[in-house]
Structure formats: structure tokens, C-alpha cells
Amino acid sequence: MTYENLLVEREGFIVKITFNRPKTLNALNSSTLRELESCLTRLRREEKDQTRVVILTGAGGKAFVAGADISEMSSFGVDDAREFAELGHRVLDLIAEAPFPVIAAINGFALGGGCEIMLACDLAYASDRAKLGQPEVNLGVIPGFGGTQRLIRRVGLARAREIVYGCDMIDAEKARDIGLILEVFPHDELESKVTGIAQHLASKAPLAISQAKRVTEKGYDESLWAAHELERQAFGLLFGTEDQTAGMKSFLEKTKAEFKGR
């Protein structure tokens, strides 16, 4: 897959997608979002069986994604802005609902749309140089790619309001302390650490991880009874897979399971 604003690399079952507009600190424009939509759609449909983990990161060493491209947004009218927000929501929903884990490797600024992309990912790890935040109110707008709602679910209502109202950048240590990200790594070690995590996840049963992702994502906003029903159904469904047979057989025989995604 070749794109103008993304670099896409595959190593086995792991796909690394790098936002590649370093001169703009990887700012999101419509073209970049459409490319990401195309890439994720291809991975979900045509390369689903070959993809077990996706890593998102940014080129240039200074930014993951420093926000939306203001040079494009500044000319928007009401209809343009709504269409842009709809595009962003569509792409981030592809991340959140992908049948495989998506990991954000935050190697610099993750502001505005960049923070929103991180919030849509399953797991997020940051360099000790990272800065995160939602500065949209400084521009007279609000987060438009799901940031207000995913932020509430990540850090709670009061903390989300503090982040959105105040527009302050949050350093990596504080981001970890408030639950915005999982871990902080030295800048030069971030790539290798996240790759190691991705390799670990890729060795697990992919159908089981896919169901675990679906149940946790969908069940979060359901009643406890409805969420438990989702879990019961998924648990039973997995007993019809070759991976379940292989996993339990390997456990009993004390050997390492090799999962096929079937």
C-alpha cells in the first residue's frame, strides 16, 4: 500500500502505519484521513487474516499528530466543518471497531485530532518527550472527532472538562498518572518497546482477541446484564474455532500453541 501522507510497513502479522507529514508535525488534513480510512478498510477486509496488530505513530521524531491542519480548516463553513467531523468520526470508528488491536506509539505531540486518534486506539504508550492535549477551545471550536466523549470515558467527566476547557498540554508522566496513556518509555526506546508489545499480542489467539475487543468496546456502554450476555455469546462462539482446540490441547500437553486465526 502506497500513500502520499502515510507510510505503511508490514512485518509478519504486525502492520505499522506512520503519519508522514513531518513538515506540518503530521497535521491531519482531509487527504490524510481518507488515506487512513482506505488503509484501515483494506486491512479489515482484504488483509484481515494477515493482520493481528496495528501500530500507529508519527514521522519526524517531534510529533505523533500535532492536530488537524488549521490551514485547511480555517476556510471551512458550517457544512464543510460537519463533513470534516463526519470523516474523522468514520476513520476513528474504524480504529475502535477493528477486529485487531491498534496501538498508539506517541512519539511527540499528540494534540487535538492526534489525541483523539490515540483515544480511539486499544492501547497507548508514550515517549518521555510526548505532550498531549485538546487545544480546540483556543481556536474557538471543540474536539470534533469524538474527543469529548472518548476522553470522558478514559479519564472521567471532571478531568475531561479540565483538559478541554483549559487547553493545557499534558506531559507524558501526568498523562500516565491520570490514565490517558498506559506507560512512558525513554524516547529512543519507544519503538522497540511498542514493537515488543505488538509481537506479544500477535502471538495470542487472534479470534479470541477480536472477540475480547468487541465485547469490551460494545459492552462498555451497555447495562451490566446486556454486557454479560455479549460475553456469554462470544465465549460460546469461540468453542467452535480451531484456535480454541489448539490452545487447550497445548495447555494440557504443556507445549506452545500456534494459532491460525481459524
Beta pairing partners, 126: 106, 184
Task: Determine the pLDDT at residue 178.
Answer: 97
- Residue 120 has a CB neighbour count (10 Å cut-off) of 24
Task: Determine the pLDDT at residue 145.
Answer: 97
Task: Determine the pLDDT at residue 190.
Answer: 98
Question: Which class would CATH give 6-202?
Answer: alpha beta
Tracing cell 477480536 back to the chain, one arrives at 210
Look at residues 86, 72, 80 and name the one whose alpha carbon lies nearest to residue 24. Answer: 72
Q: Where are the domains of the chain?
A: 6-202, 206-253
> What is the grid cell recorded at 51?
493482520
Compute the distance between CA of residue 3 and CA of residue 16 in angstroms, rounded to an integer.
Answer: 13
Residue type, 186: P
Say what the pTM is. Answer: 0.95
Cα distances (Å, whole numbers) of residue 35 to 92, 105, 138: 13, 19, 28
Look at residues 146, 139, 82, 137 and name the one whose alpha carbon lies nearest to residue 113. Answer: 146
Contacts of 224 (CB under 8 A, 6+ apart): none
The residues annotated as belonging to the active site are: 116, 136
Task: Compute the half-sphere exposure of residue 185: CA atoms within 13 Å on the CB side of its CA.
Answer: 19
> Using an 8 Å Cβ cutoff, are 37 and 87 in contact?
yes
Compute the distance between CA of residue 101 and CA of residue 122 in angstroms, rounded to an integer.
Answer: 6
Task: Determine the pLDDT at residue 7.
Answer: 97
Q: What averages of pLDDT result for each successive group of 10 residues across the chain (262 residues)?
A: 92 97 96 97 92 97 94 94 97 96 98 98 98 97 96 96 96 97 98 98 96 94 94 95 94 92 90
Phi and psi at residue 76, in whole multiples of 5°? -70, 145
Q: Which CATH architecture has domain 206-253?
A: Orthogonal Bundle (1.10)
Q: How many residues does the chain have?
A: 262
Count the helix, strand and coil residues of the chain and give each as a percent rounded to the nearest 5: 55, 15, 30
